[in-house]
Amino acid sequence: MSESGNKLSRVGSATSLLAVTACYGTLAAVALLSAVGVSIEIDEGFMVKMISGLLFFALAGMVYSYSLHRHPGPLSLSIASAALLSWVFFGSYSKPLELTGFAALVFASVWDFRVKKRACACHKKNY
Q: What pLDDT, in 10s, does the model give residues 69-89? A: 899 999 999 999 999 999 999
Q: How confident is the model at residue 29 (pLDDT cuts 50, 70, 90)?
A: confident
Q: Stretch 52-56: mean pLDDT, rounded?
A: 89
In this structure, the dihedral spanned by the alpha carbons of residues 32, 36, 42 and 48, taken in order and rounded to 10 degrees, is 10
- Specify the pTM: 0.75
Domain ranges for the chain: 3-125
For the chain, helix (H) and strand (E) counts, in that order, are: 6, 0
